[in-house]
Amino acid sequence: MGLLDGKVAIITGAGGGLGEAYATLFAKEGAAVVVNDLGSSVDGAGASGAAEKVVAKIISDGGRAVANGDDVSTVAGGENILKTAIDAFGQVDILICNAGILRDRTFAKTSEKDWDLVVKVHLKGTYCCSLPVWNWLKENRRPGVIIMTSSTSGLFGNFGQANYGAAKAGIYGLVRVLSIEGRKYGIRVMGVAPNAVTRMWADVPGTKDSESYPILRPENVASGVLFMASELAADHSGKVLAVSGEEIAEVRMLMTDGFHPKGHYTAQDVAARASSVFFPADLKRVPSMD
C-alpha cells in the first residue's frame, strides 16, 4: 500500500530537478501523475521533451503518468493542465505548483522584463494552476491538497533575487489566505520552501553541486513533500515547511509582544521600547546557501 494509492497528482515543472523527484516518488507511492513541463531553460527560454522523458521512466517502472507541456503562467495553460488530468485519469486530488525560472540580478540591474517574467511564472503561475484545480475540487465536493512552492529567498531574503523573492513571498500570502478559504471545502493548502541543488542553482556563486554535497539532492526534498501531500499531514493546512536533506522545519510569520501605547505616542517612545517592539537579534535565524 502506497501513501497515495488511488490519487491523481498534477506536478508542474516536473521535467527535471525537484519536480521530477516528486513525480517519480509519488508514482511509486501509488499516484497517477500529470508531469507538466514547458521544457524551457532556467531563464525561461527554449524547449525540450523533458516531461515525456520523465513519463517514460515512470511507466517503465510500472507507474501511471501522462505528459503536459502547457505554460503554467497563463490561465489557458492552467486550465489545460487540469484537463489533461481529467481526460487521462478522471480526477485530480493533489496539485504541486513547482514550476519556476530565475533571472537573478541586483535590484538596480533588474529590468522590467526580468521582473515581470519571474513574477509571472512563479506567482501568477501558481494562481493560474491553482484556480482551475480549486474550482474543480469545490464543484465536485472532493477534498484535495494544493502545495505551493515558496522560498527562503522570499521568506528571509537573498542577495540578487528581488524579483524571485518578491514572487515567493507573495506565494506565502496565497498559502495563508487559501488555507482559510479552503476549510469549508476540505481543500488543504501548504507551502514548501525547498533547499536542493538543481539546475536552477547551478550558476549561483558558492552553491555546492549535488555530487559533492549529496545531502542536498532533490530526492531528499521529495519525501518531505510526499508527507505534505499525504494524509499524514491532514492537520497542517496553512503551514509552510522548509525542507531539505539537512532540515525539515516550519517557517511562520510571528509578532513580538510589542509596545501598546493606547493612543498618542512619539517616535522617541517607540525607540525607548525597542526591546519590546523588535525580536532579540539572536532569534533571527536566516538560512544561507553555504
Cα separation, 167 vs 173, in Å, equals 10
**Torsion over CA: 81, 188, 175, 224 (sign):** negative
Q: What share of the chain is helix, strand, coil (3-state, %, to 5)?
A: 45, 15, 40
Query: Residue 105 has what DSSP assignment?
Result: B
Q: Which of 43, 44, 7, 1 is nearest to 22 (CA)?
A: 7
Q: Which residues are catalytic?
A: 164
pLDDT value at residue 290: 33
Task: State which amino acid sits at residue 65.
Answer: A
Q: What is the pLDDT of residue 269?
A: 97
The count of domains in the chain is 1
CATH number assigned to the domain comprising residue 81? 3.40.50.720
Query: Which residues contact residue 5 at a Cβ distance below 8 angstroms, ignoring those fewer than 6 apart?
Result: 29, 30, 31
Alpha-carbon 282 to chain mean position: 28
Is residue 3 a part of any domain in this protein?
no
pTM of the model: 0.91
3-state secondary structure of 151: coil
Q: So what's the pLDDT on residue 196?
A: 86
In the chain (290 residues long), the average pLDDT of successive 10-residue segments reads 96 96 98 91 61 97 97 98 98 97 94 97 98 98 98 92 96 98 98 83 52 79 98 98 94 94 96 94 54
Question: Range of 164's domain?
Answer: 8-255
Does residue 18 lie within any of the structural domains? yes
> Is 187 a member of any domain?
yes
Confirm whether 137 is domain-assigned: yes
pLDDT value at position 216? 81
Per the domain annotation, does 281 fall within a domain? no
Calculate the dihedral angle through the C-alpha atoms of 181, 223, 124, 64, rounding to the nearest 10 degrees.
-100
269 within domain boundaries: no
Q: What is the pLDDT of residue 289?
A: 38
